[in-house]
Chain A
Amino acid sequence: MIRQDFSRIESKRKNVAHRQKQFLTPQYAPLTYSTRLNFYTLPPTADITLEQFEQWAIDRLRVLAELEACSFRNKSPAETAAHMKPLLDKYLPLSGSSSGSGKLQEERMKDHYSHFILRLAFASTEDSRRRFSRVESMLFRLRFLDNDVKERQAFVEGLNLEWEVVGEEEKGRWSEELRAAAGGFLKGERFEGESWFKVDWERVPELVEGRRVFLRAGKAYVPGREQMSMVVAEFTGRLDKALEMTSRALPRLDEDDRLTPILAHLSNNFTTPDASYSSSTTALPGADISARNIDTLSSSFPLCMQNLHRSLRRDAHLKHYGRLQYTLFLKGIGLNLEECLVFWRTAFSKITDDTFNKEYRYNVRHAYGDVGGDSNRRGNGYSPFSCQKILTEHPPGPGESHGCPYRHFSTENLTALLQAVGVKDSEVLRGVKEDKEKMKFHLACNRVFEYAHKQEIKKVKEDGTWGAAQLETIVHPNEYFKRSYLLKNLGKTPAGTEAEGEKGDVKMEG
C-alpha cells in the first residue's frame, strides 16, 4: 500500500526522488564465488576497511613479486610451483570447492579484492600494466594447473568461450596431421579419445609459435589438453583490455587522500630487480673506466660480454644487437658517452670516419639517451640488459655474437670459449655442461664466476667483510662485472678512491 502511495506523488516530487536516488548508496547483489578461479570480470562492490585494503594488496604483491623473481631466475614451471606453494598458502590461500574449507568465500573475496586494488595501482603507465598483466597471467596459470580436473572443466565451461568442436568426419580427414602436430603423444586409443577444438589461430599464439597445433586455413586445431594455453590467453587478453579501461578511468578517480597514497606506495614498491639497476648502484669509485682501458677491464666481464669483446677485436665489427648489448653493458659499468664513442670508433678500425658517423654514432648516442624521442632522452636511454633479457629475447642469428654463450652456444663451442678465456678446470667445465643441459644458465655463469674468484671469495667470507646479500646469485651482467672488479681490487680499492679524490682536487684547482 505504502509503495503505491510513493509512486503516485506529483511530478515535481518525483524529480526530487530521482535526484535523491542519484546520491543514494548503490545496492548490489552480493557476490558469491562459485569457482576457485576467477576471471575478474566483475569489480568488487562491498565495503572493506582501509587496513584490509592495504594489507590485502601487499599480500598479493608479495606473491606476484616472488613469481616474477622465479621467472627471472629461469625456473621451470614445476620448480616455480614448488617454490610458490608455501608463499601462496601464507599470503593468498585459495582452496578448491571440494576441500570443504570454511573460509572458502573469505579467501576468494580477498583474492578478488586484492586483484582489483592492484589493478588501480598498476594501471597508470603502460610499463606497469604490461608487467602486472604478465605476472597475473602467471599466477592464473599456476592456479589453473593445480586445480583438480573436474573443477577446471566446470570453470572453463562457465566461461562460455566460443570454441568449435571438431567433428568425427573432419577429425578423420586430418588424422595424420593432427597426430603429427600433437607431438606423438596421442597414439591409437588416446588419439580416438581426444577431443579437438577449432579456433582462429590468433587466439592461441603460443601454440602456433611452438608449432604445437595443426593449422589449416587460418584455424588452429587444438587438442583438449592444450586448453590451458587458450584459457590463459583469454585471461591475459581480457585483463589487458580491462587495464586499459582502468587507466582511462583513473584520472577521474575522484578521491580524497586516503587511497591515492596507498596506491602510489604499492606501485613504487613493485620494481623489478633488473629494472632498478641504475648507474648509481654500479659506480665504482676509483676505477679507470675509459675506452683505452676496456681491454684490461674485459677480464672482469661475464662470458657473454667477453665473447662480444673478442668478436669485436677479431672482426673489428659487431652486428646490431651485439653492439646494443655491449654498448649498454659498457654504459652500465660507467663508461660515459664520449668514451663509448671513442671506444667504438677505434674498435671499428676498418671503416671510415664518415661511415661510422653515418651508421653507428647515432645508435650509440640513442642508447645513452643523448638523442631520440622525449621519453628516451628523459629516461637516459635504455638500461643495460639483464640476464633475463639476454636469455629470452633476440636469440643470435647467423654472424651475430650477442646473447648468452651458456644458452646459445653448443656445448663444444662453449667449452672452447671457456678454455680460451682461461677456465680450464675440467670439473668446472663438466659442471657448466650439466648446468647447460638442465637449462640452468645462471648457475653455469655463477659457477664460472666462483671458480674465477675462488681465492677472493674465500677471503671476504673469512674476513666477514661481504655478507650473504653481496654473494647471492648474479642475474645481471653488470652485477657480475661490479662484483668481479671489487673482488679483484680488494686491497687496492680504498687507495684507489683516495687517488681519485686527489685527482679531483687537482682538477678543481686547475
Chain B
Amino acid sequence: MPHSVSPEQPASPDQVANIEEPKTDNVETQESEGTAVADNLGPIGESQTSYDQDMTMTDAGAAGEKPLVKVETTAEVKLEDLFADMDSDEEFPSSTGQGVKISSSPEAPASPVHIGPTSNASDPEVMRSFYQRLFPWRYLFQWLNHSPTPSTDFGHREFAFTLQNDAYLRYQSFPTHDLLRKDVLRLMPSRFEIGPVYSTNPRDRKTLRKSTAFKPIAKELCFDIDLTDYDDIRTCCDKANICNKCWQFITMAIKVIDVALRDDFGFKHIMWVYSGRRGAHAWVCDKKARQMDDQKRRALAGYLEVIKGGAQGGKRVNIKRPLHPHVARSLDILKSHFQTDILHDQDPWETDEKFDRLLQLLPDKTLNEALRKKWNSAPGRASTAKWTDIDALAKSGMSKSLDAKALLDAKQDIVLEYTYPRLDIEVSKHLNHLLKSPFVVHPGTGRVCVPINTKHCEDFDPLSVPTVTDLLREIDEWTAPEEENDGKAIQDWEKTSLKPYVEYFRSFVLGIMKDEKDVKIKREREENGDVMEF
C-alpha cells in the first residue's frame, strides 16, 4: 500500500536513505499483512472507538516518521500503523501521517502515484493505484452483502475477472471485501464483472456430488443500454464514439425505464451506472428484484420492450391501441426529446436517401407521394420542417383516403422508434448474466464507471466523467484545506472528483441496508410473536 506522505511534508533525506532496505517488501507483502490484521482483529465494528484516538495515532504516526530510520523502531511504528489502518478505511488509505512504511517505496518520496502525461489506463501501475486508493471496496461489499456483517449474499457471489492478457476468469468468490481486494491487486484485472449469488460457494462447485446443487439463486435485475444499438438512427457518431448529442438517447432511456421500474413495479433501489464508454447499466437491487427467476425477468423485460426486430423487419414498433399506460407515459416523456434531440440535433431525415425511411413508416400512399415531391424539390430540408410538413399536407386534404387516426398512430410509432429505449434484453432476462461492476475503469477510455444520479440525469456528461489518470493526479495536487478538519482522516477519494459519485453510491447502499435491516427486525419480531402464542 503505497500511502503517500502528504505533499506539504517535505520528504526527508532519511526517508530517501531508507529506500534501499525494504525494496523487496513491496506492495504484496504489505498487502497480506494488512489483511491478516483485519482477520485477526475480528469484527471491525470494534475499531470505531473514537476519532480522538485516531487523531492521536495519526499524530504519533507523523511524529514517528523520523525515528523510522532505525530499524528497531519499526515494530513499534508498525503497531500504530495497523491501528491507524483500522480506523481510517483500510481500503481508502489516507495520505496524512500514516504513510510511514510506504515512504520506503523506491520512487515515491513525495507521492507514489506518479502520473505522467504518458501513462494511461491500461498501465498496470495506474490500475494498481486506482484499486488501492480509490476503489470503494467497502461500499461495494455492503452493496452486495446488504448488511455490514459478512453473509453468503456476498460470499457466494460470483466475480469474474478479465485479466490483462484478456483471459477470463470465472467463478471467483470471496468471503469479504478485503480478500476480493487482495485478489484484484494480485491479478490486476483490467475489469471485473459481477454475477449471481449461488446456492453454494462458487469455488466449491466442482466438489459437489450433484451438479444441480450448484445453481444461481439471486441477482440484481440488470439492464444494459448501448449506443451502438442506435446506430441506424443516430447521425452524429457511430460504433464506439459518442458525443453529448447522442448521449441524449441514454438520458431518455434512463428516464423512461426508471419511472416504469419505480411506479409500475414498485422497485425502490435502482442504480444507474455509466458503462465507461457508450452506454449505461441499471442495477435494480430490491430484494424482490434480486430473487426473481428467469421467467419473471423475461416477463418484465417483455413489458419494457417496445422496439422489436432487426433492421430487416421493416416497421419496428407495432403497438396496440389504445396505448398501454406505460407506453402512453413513455410517449409523454419522449415527446419533447423528440423535438429537440431527434428532429433538431440528430436531423435524421435530412438527405434524400434518409427520408425514404420516414416515408416507409407512414401509412398513406398518396400523402407519401406528395411529401416526396415536396422534399425532392427542396433538398436538405431540415427534419423539423419535414415533420411539420406531414401534418400540413395531411390537413390540406389532398389525400381523399387519408385515415387521420392511422396517421396519428404512425406518427406516435415513429416517435417511439426514434426515442424509446433500445435495451439489450438478454442481459435482463437471465439470472446468471454477468455485468461489469460499478467503479471499475473502462480499459478503452480510462473512464471510471460511475453511478448516474437519476434526479439529475439530464446533467450527466459522459465526456466529463473522470478518468483514472485524472483522479490520480488530483490526489497529488490535493492540499489540505486551511480550516482544521475535525481530526477525521481524509480518504483519497475525497480528494478527487470521484467524491460525489462515491458519496452517491454510499447513500444508495445505506438505503438498501436500512431497508433490509428493517425487514429482518420485523421478521424477528413476528417470529417472537409466534413463540409467545405457543
Instruction: List residues of chain A with CB under 8 Å of any chain B CB.
Output: 126, 176-177, 179-181, 183-184, 201-202, 205-206, 208-211, 214-219, 358, 374-375, 394-401, 403, 405, 408-413
- A413 touching B264, Cβ below 8 Å: no
- A398 touching B266, Cβ below 8 Å: no
- A184 touching B321, Cβ below 8 Å: yes
**Interface size class of chain B, counting residues whose CB lies under 8 Å from the partner chain:** 35 or more
B263's contact among A176, A216, A403, A413, by CB below 8 Å, is which? A216
Residue among B212, B310, B323 facing the most chain A CB atoms (10 A cut-off): B310
- A408 touching B320, Cβ below 8 Å: no
Chain B residues whose C-beta falls within 8 Å of the C-beta of A181 in the assembled complex = 324-325
A208's contact among B229, B263, B288, B300, by CB below 8 Å, is which? B300
Chain B 150-178 interface 0/1 with A at a Cβ cutoff of 8 Å (1 = within): 00000000000000001000000000000
- A211 touching B322, Cβ below 8 Å: no
Chain B 309-344 interface 0/1 with A at a Cβ cutoff of 8 Å (1 = within): 111111100001111111110000000000000000
- B303 touching A409, Cβ below 8 Å: no
Smallest Cβ-Cβ distance to B326: which chain A residue: A211
A394 to B310, CA, bound (A): 11
A180 to B324, CA, bound (A): 5
A397 to B424, CA, bound (A): 9
A201 to B295, CA, bound (A): 12
Given contact pairs A126-B212, A179-B322, A180-B328, A211 touches B303 in the complex (Cβ within 8 A): yes
Sort A-B residue pairs by CB-CB distance and give the 8 closest, nearest first.
A410-B314, A218-B266, A205-B299, A209-B302, A215-B264, A396-B310, A209-B299, A217-B266
- B310 touching A400, Cβ below 8 Å: yes
A394 to B322, CA, bound (A): 27
Chain B residues whose C-beta falls within 8 Å of the C-beta of A397 in the assembled complex = 229, 309-310, 422, 424-425
Chain B 287-305 interface 0/1 with A at a Cβ cutoff of 8 Å (1 = within): 0100010011011101100
Chain A residues whose C-beta falls within 8 Å of the C-beta of B425 in the assembled complex = 397
Smallest Cβ-Cβ distance to A218: which chain B residue: B266
B322's contact among A184, A206, A374, by CB below 8 Å, is which? A184
Chain B residues whose C-beta falls within 8 Å of the C-beta of A358 in the assembled complex = 166
Chain B residues whose C-beta falls within 8 Å of the C-beta of A215 in the assembled complex = 264-265, 303, 325-326
Given contacts A179-B322, A181-B325, A413-B313, 8 further A-B contacts (CB under 8 A): A180-B323, A215-B265, A218-B265, A398-B311, A400-B310, A408-B312, A410-B312, A411-B314
A409 to B313, CA, bound (A): 4
A215 to B425, CA, bound (A): 20
Given contact pairs A216-B264, A218-B265, A398-B311, A208 touches B302 in the complex (Cβ within 8 A): yes
Is residue B211 within 8 Å, beta carbon to beta carbon, of the partner chain? yes
Given contact pairs A208-B300, A217-B266, A410 touches B315 in the complex (Cβ within 8 A): yes
Chain B 407-431 interface 0/1 with A at a Cβ cutoff of 8 Å (1 = within): 0000000000000001011100000
- B322 touching A180, Cβ below 8 Å: yes
- A214 touching B322, Cβ below 8 Å: no
Residue among B326, B422, B425 facing the most chain A CB atoms (10 A cut-off): B326
Given contact pairs A201-B265, A217-B266, A211 touches B324 in the complex (Cβ within 8 A): yes
A169 to B160, CA, bound (A): 51
- A395 touching B303, Cβ below 8 Å: no
- B266 touching A399, Cβ below 8 Å: no
Listed A/B pairs (5) with beta-carbon separation below 8 Å: A209-B300, A211-B324, A216-B263, A396-B312, A405-B312
- B325 touching A399, Cβ below 8 Å: no
- A410 touching B313, Cβ below 8 Å: yes
A231 to B263, CA, bound (A): 26
Smallest Cβ-Cβ distance to B230: which chain A residue: A398
Chain B residues whose C-beta falls within 8 Å of the C-beta of A411 in the assembled complex = 314
Given contact pairs A215-B326, A216-B263, A395-B308, A209 touches B298 in the complex (Cβ within 8 A): yes
A39 to B530, CA, bound (A): 31
A394 to B300, CA, bound (A): 15
A265 to B232, CA, bound (A): 54
A217 to B324, CA, bound (A): 16
Given contact pairs A179-B322, A211-B326, A399 touches B264 in the complex (Cβ within 8 A): no
Residue among A205, A374, A408 facing the most chain B CB atoms (10 A cut-off): A205
Given contact pairs A209-B302, A215-B264, A183 touches B312 in the complex (Cβ within 8 A): no
| Chain B min CB distance to A84 (Å) | 25
- A399 touching B302, Cβ below 8 Å: no
Given contact pairs A201-B265, A397-B229, A399-B231, A209 touches B328 in the complex (Cβ within 8 A): no
Residue among B303, B312, B315, B321 facing the most chain A CB atoms (10 A cut-off): B312
A183 to B324, CA, bound (A): 8
- B322 touching A210, Cβ below 8 Å: no
Smallest Cβ-Cβ distance to A219: which chain B residue: B266
| Chain A min CB distance to B422 (Å) | 7
A206 to B296, CA, bound (A): 9
- B314 touching A413, Cβ below 8 Å: yes
- A408 touching B313, Cβ below 8 Å: yes
- A209 touching B303, Cβ below 8 Å: yes
Chain A residues whose C-beta falls within 8 Å of the C-beta of B300 in the assembled complex = 208-209
| Chain A min CB distance to B213 (Å) | 12
Smallest Cβ-Cβ distance to B262: which chain A residue: A217
